[in-house]
Amino acid sequence: MAGSDINRFAEMETFVRVVESGGMSAAARLKRTTPSSVSKLLGRLESRLGVRLLNRSTRQLQLTPEGRAFYDNCVRVLADVREVEREATNGREPVGRIRVNTSASFGLHVLAPLVAEFLGRYPVVSLDIVHTDSLVDLLGEQTDVAVRAGPLENSRLVARKLGESRSIIVAAPAYLARHGTPQAPSQLERHNLIGFDYARAVEGWRLMENGTPMLIQPNGRVQASDGEALRHLALNGVGIAQLATFTIADDLARGRLIPLLERFDDSRPESFHAVYLGQGGHLPSRVRAFIDFLAERVRL
């Protein structure tokens, strides 16, 4: 088994060298071997995987779609192996790239202001930040850490709570000037309520009127895929939205958005977690450092 694992590591390393150097001859020079040896190794690799990784011609090598995916994963695995070896010999200083997935709202209003501080604290760590409000498969998307809002489903993911935030119903002064200000939840039916275009943990706005709980559906003429898009729609007077307070604190202070129906609000604070794959396995020090940093510095 050990020999097989070593050979697989050598296969991945050689494949990456071929791709990055642009050919077998160049890769052979870097590895101090012959082009025929490199060619045979790649042939064995493709036979074992059962897919073609490279389209070969007399002038160039071109990655197949399967080859591109395999290359990306090889680069990641080799980087992790190098970090594990470096940690064993030189301590546990974080190093390498961290791929982070977060909502646009959290990324712009919470994470972005902290990035410079994190990079200053860890000068040999880099960040690759992806914004999406949709849930992602961390393994499939090669994501190290995702920040998720709301209740967490049971899964193999490990979660660390970063804080919680309330959401409030708001509208721009321009919208209210045109359509009037609702004085009770029952009056919202006459307004354009803008919301998300995908299923969420809480399907609607929780309000209470005359002691009766209400769940208002924001099924207006415009829907959006992320909270930051909803914020800009609200700021431009498109309609009424429910937004997390950490995203609109400045808008409220400057009067760009007006809170509505506050005494009828029956919503619960929404929890934010950093989630990652780390249960029962090695968690790279760069990922651990990033999660610890978020837990220390995030304020919602």
CATH of domain 167-268: 3.40.190.10
Can you tell me the distance from the alpha carbon of 185 to that of 29, in angstroms, rounded to the nearest whole number? Answer: 73
Least confident among 68-72, 184-188, 235-239, 248-252: 68-72
- Tens-digit pLDDT profile for residues 134-157: 776 676 667 899 998 887 775 667
Do the first three CATH levels of 2-89 and 167-268 match, i.e. the same topology?
A: no
- Percent of the chain residues past pLDDT 90, beyond the cut: 52
Closest residue by Cα to residue 15 from 58, 72, 93, 59: 72
Residue 211 carries which DSSP code? T
- Report the predicted TM-score, pTM, of the whole model to 2 decimal places: 0.68
Can you tell me the distance from the alpha carbon of 14 to that of 261, in angstroms, rounded to the nearest whole number? Answer: 63
What average pLDDT does the segment 248-273 reach?
95
Task: Tell the CATH topology of 97-164+271-297.
Answer: D-Maltodextrin-Binding Protein; domain 2 (3.40.190)
Burial class of residue 263 in the structure, from the number of CB atoms within 10 Å of its CB (0-12 exposed, 13-18 middle, 19+ buried): exposed
What average pLDDT does the segment 31-36 reach?
86
Q: What is the pLDDT of residue 289?
A: 93
Closest residue by Cα to residue 257 from 240, 269, 271, 274: 240
Burial class of residue 245 in the structure, from the number of CB atoms within 10 Å of its CB (0-12 exposed, 13-18 middle, 19+ buried): middle
- Token pair, residue 294, equals 């978020």
Strands, E, within the chain: which ranges?
54-56, 61-63, 96-102, 125-131, 145-149, 158-165, 167-171, 195-196, 205-209, 212-216, 223-224, 241-244, 258-260, 270-276
Residue 3 has pLDDT above 50, yes or no: no
Can you tell me the distance from the alpha carbon of 122 to that of 283, in angstroms, rounded to the nearest whole number? Answer: 17
CATH of domain 2-89: 1.10.10.10
- Tens-digit pLDDT profile for residues 156-180: 678 899 999 999 999 999 999 999 9
The domain spans of the chain are 2-89, 97-164+271-297, 167-268
Phi-psi region of 168 (alpha: psi -120 to 50; beta: other; left: phi over 0): beta
